[in-house]
Structure 1
Amino acid sequence: MGAYEPGERQVDASWTVHRSRTAYDGSPWLRVDMVDVSAPNEDRFEHAAIWVPDAAVALIVDEQRRAVLMLRRQRWVIGRDGYELLGGLVDDGEDPGDTARREALEESGHVPRGAGRHLLTVHPMPGLVDSAMHVYLWDEGAEQVGDPSDPHEAGTVEWVPLDRVDELADGGQLLGATTAVALYRYLALR
């Protein structure tokens, strides 16, 4: 439940974790630890580290329409509305690809067509937050099989033209780093 352990050298072999204490445990959504660390210059101080469960995101593209399935919604935490890819938290023991497919169905009522494939995994804020975002790509579109079933994911499901990605990014309408990174990664690979 966290990449840091007391006494371990971190990946770059220049930071040392001496000890960690949980300052807030909001399981299963969030844990905040205060970690006693030594920086590369040997300064020692306490640093916050936030743990959030991993998430998986579905990038569902319909190449015939040159469009991507997205959810337009309001995010009260940041006080903005905009577009997001479909996704959610990975359940314990669940494969992230299965999570992305499940979340797409729950949030949109659509089932991705064909086999999904891993596109990339990102850690949006690795200096403060331990949480991986796994992106899976389906590029054969999706079939609508019902209505969205998750009442907490209210929004409007839309097929957004891929040629609007720059416009939405310029207007601050792509919500979440993972949405932007996934879309631009996909466009770069095309």
Structure 2
Amino acid sequence: MFKFTKPKWDVIKDKKVYETPIFSLHEKKVQPDDGTDAANFYVLNAPEWINVIALTDDNDVVLVEQYRHGVDETTLEIPGGMVDEGEEPIDAAKRELLEETGFESGSWENLGKVSSNPAILSNFTHIFLATHCEKTSPQQTDGHEDIKVHSMPLKEFLNFANEDVVHHSIVLAGVAKFLLKYPNMA
């Protein structure tokens, strides 16, 4: 096991600067462990997120296509979303898969978690594998979600990830977790 050698810095002050329905911006004054002057850093506190690699019995992966405001582009991703307050990540994964795609699975595996972006985000994204997925209902999107569902062979999706058609970093982290556990699936 890796042994970390850099100690945590002491948080002297944590001030909420701005609040949105999705995250809050915090200004944190921290003291480095080397005794140098304290400095201010900015952190987005966000809820936990989930992503789902959803495979059908034909080894097709269920994907979502949607417009993303941050990059001002339409993206191709695996289903995902926020974990609601009081909800377990696995329950959020099942809910999001059904809402975004209309697919369900009775076979779930936790592939682990990744730091969403540890430089500025406080949360983790939990990655799940759902196998034997079946379309059981229409999409149940909420609010301003405009999602088109796609299903394609896993190898085609992996090629898209390799060719930068799929470029969402957390999706690619999920793909990496999946391939580290199941290298023969590539």
Name the TM-score class by shorter chain.
Answer: 0.7 to 0.9
CA distance in 1, matches of 2:147, 2:138: 15
Do residues 17 (structure 1) and 5 (structure 2) align? no
CA distance in 2, matches of 1:175, 1:185: 16
Q: Deviations over 1:132-160 (max 9, x none)?
A: 11112112222332234335221210112
Asked if structure 1 preserves the Cα contact closer than 8 Å seen for 2:103 and 2:133, the reply is: no
Match of 1:68 among 52, 55, 61: 61
The alpha carbon displacement at 1:77 in A equals 1.9
Aligned to 2:175: 183
Asked if structure 2 preserves the Cα contact closer than 8 Å seen for 1:60 and 1:142, the reply is: no
Aligned to 1:80: 73
Do residues 99 (structure 1) and 92 (structure 2) align? yes
The alpha carbon displacement at 1:70 in A equals 0.7
CA distance in 2, matches of 1:88, 1:147: 14
Asked if structure 2 preserves the Cα contact closer than 8 Å seen for 1:109 and 1:149, the reply is: no
Moved more, 31-40 or 95-104: 31-40
Give me the CA root mean square deviation.
2.0
CA distance in 1, matches of 2:59, 2:179: 11
| Superposition TM-score, scaled by structure 1 size | 0.83
CA distance in 2, matches of 1:127, 1:78: 19
Partner AA of 2:104 in structure 1: V
- Give the number of aligned pairs: 177
Q: Against the structure 1 CA distance between its residues 169 and 104, is the aligned structure 2 distance closer, same or farther, given a 3 Å change threshold?
A: same
Q: Deviations over 1:38-57 (max 9, x none)?
A: 22333321111111111122
Unaligned 5+ runs, structure 2: none
Asked if structure 2 preserves the Cα contact closer than 8 Å seen for 1:81 and 1:173, the reply is: no
Aligned to 1:123: 115
Identity rate of aligned residues, in percent? 21
The alpha carbon displacement at 1:22 in A equals 1.1
Q: Deviations over 1:113-170 (max 9, x none)?
A: x231211111121121101111121122223322343352212101122112443224
Off by >4 Å, runs of 4+ in structure 1 = none
Q: Deviations over 1:56-91 (max 9, x none)?
A: 2222112x4222111012212211222111121111
Q: Deviations over 1:20-46 (max 9, x none)?
A: 1111122x3111111111223333211
Asked if structure 1 preserves the Cα contact closer than 8 Å seen for 2:64 and 2:101, the reply is: yes
Match of 1:90 among 72, 76, 83: 83
| Superposition TM-score, scaled by structure 2 size | 0.85
Aligned to 1:52: 46
Question: Residue 98 of structure 2 aligns to a residue in which SS?
Answer: helix
Moved more, 137-146 or 122-131: 137-146
